[in-house]
Amino acid sequence: MSSTSLPPSPEQCLVVGFGGTCLDYLAAVSTLPEPGDRTQCRSMKIQGNGGAANTLTCLARLGARARLMSEIADDIPGKSILEELRADGVDTSFLVVAKDGQTPFSYVMVNQSTRERTCIFTPGFPLMEPADVSRGLKSALEGARFVHFDARYTDTAIVVAREAAGQNIPILLDAEKKRPGLDGLLHLSDYVVCSPNFPKAWTDAPSLPSALLSILLRLPKLKFAIVTMGEHGCLMLERSPDAENPLMGEEDADSLWRSLEQEKDDSVARPMCIASEVVKLTANGLGTLTGRLLVGTAERIPPSELVDTIGARDAFIGAIIYALCMNMAPEKMLPFAATVAAAGCKEWGARTGLPFRTDPCLAPFLGETGYSA
């Protein structure tokens, strides 16, 4: 696909990400060793990781402007992280570099046969504090189209989120698990992408659709919530801005989800999206919400091509933010994000397989007419 057939460049879209970054020492082994045993490393890679850093790397490769706010130390892992981020075009000018400290790092063993991972994580210090960002915060957010949080350093993240909300900059939050301070971020967010276990853990709802409904009812600022489910795809609940039609039907969220799931075509390898009509959704006496459910499928990756799922959620989130920047409809956004995440799973490490905007696998999404910047 020639570059002349691509839609306008998204370079005018600046995304500021706040959160974690670390360095991974990855070792591929044939089998994980038993206690007291030794095993031979078949291949090794040293690569950056961390939710916000991975997501911004994804965005930078897709052509957006990406700026990371995080903290590292002035040590060898920190210098390696800086070099890698800059090589991918991520703006690190607001990255805090501690003179006396330690950059987070992990030793990761990957079983090549089962894709199982064993990780030894070493936390970094000092932790990022509000004073680290308060002085240059307005400059860091200047011109931002979106701000992304991976829910690390929540005390400091709240300071950044309040400033972003005060400037009416939309916020997308990665809600992986319940953390101290997370509720404050949730109430400031416009969009949230959840891990499989988070919605029910946060709401105590009995099912994913009812949990997503509860999340949007509790957080009136949210425009949508997505829960990722790995190879089983994703589920999205989108709030409708349309006024209620008195003739609009009422649907039980669980029943609607089951009916959408039945429309999946397992013979189709590429990601697809199945969307409901706008309805009044209800579940378990929670109340009603005018919106629609969307089921997204994952790409069916042949076992011979599946290498490593590290960073797949971060890539998915990066693609969601990119799609929002480019005003992509949800019906296209979910398959696009699944395609980007799948590309990352076909290479080793969190970032090796992240596609560039000109990658042929993205041509069906970025080369069609009607896609607006």
Higher pLDDT, 341 or 250: 341
Q: Strands 105-111 and 117-122: what pairing? A: antiparallel
In the chain, DSSP assigns E strands to: 14-18, 22-29, 41-49, 65-69, 71-73, 90-91, 96-98, 105-111, 117-122, 144-149, 171-175, 191-194, 224-228, 234-239, 250-252, 273-275, 279-282, 288-296
- State the residue for tokens 């998915």: 316
Residues 315-367 pLDDT 10s: 999 999 999 999 999 999 999 999 999 999 999 899 999 999 999 999 999 87
Residue 162: which pLDDT band, with cuts at 50, 70 and 90?
very high
What is the structure's pLDDT at 1? 39
Q: What is the mean pLDDT of residues 198-226?
A: 97
Least confidently predicted of 248-252, 300-304, 357-361: 248-252
Q: What is the mean pLDDT of residues 296-303?
A: 96
Concatenated DSSP letters for 86-148? HHTTEE-TT-EEESSSB--EEEEEEETTT--EEEEEE--BSPP-HHHHHTTHHHHHTTEEEEE
Tokens of 35: 């206690």
- Sorted by sequence, the CB contacts under 8 Å of residue 140 that are 6+ apart come out as 16, 67, 69, 94, 133, 160
Q: Strands 279-282 and 288-296: what pairing? A: antiparallel
Tokens of 82: 């800086």
Concatenated DSSP letters for 213-235? HHHHHH-TT-SEEEEE-GGG-EE
Residue extents of the structural domains in the chain: 9-21+50-103+128-360
Residues 51-80 pLDDT 10s: 999 999 999 999 999 999 999 999 999 999
301-308, long-range: CB < 8 A, 24+ apart: 301/342, 301/345, 301/346, 305/346, 306/115, 306/345, 306/346, 307/345, 307/346, 307/347, 307/348, 307/353, 308/110, 308/115, 308/345, 308/347, 308/348, 308/349
Please say if the pLDDT value at position 370 is more than 70.
no
Q: Which CATH number fits domain 9-21+50-103+128-360: 3.40.50.1820, 3.40.710.10, 3.40.50.720, 3.40.1190.20?
A: 3.40.1190.20
Nearest-angstrom CA–CA distance, 64 and 95: 18
What is the structure's pLDDT at 245? 67
Q: What is the mean pLDDT of residues 246-274?
A: 91
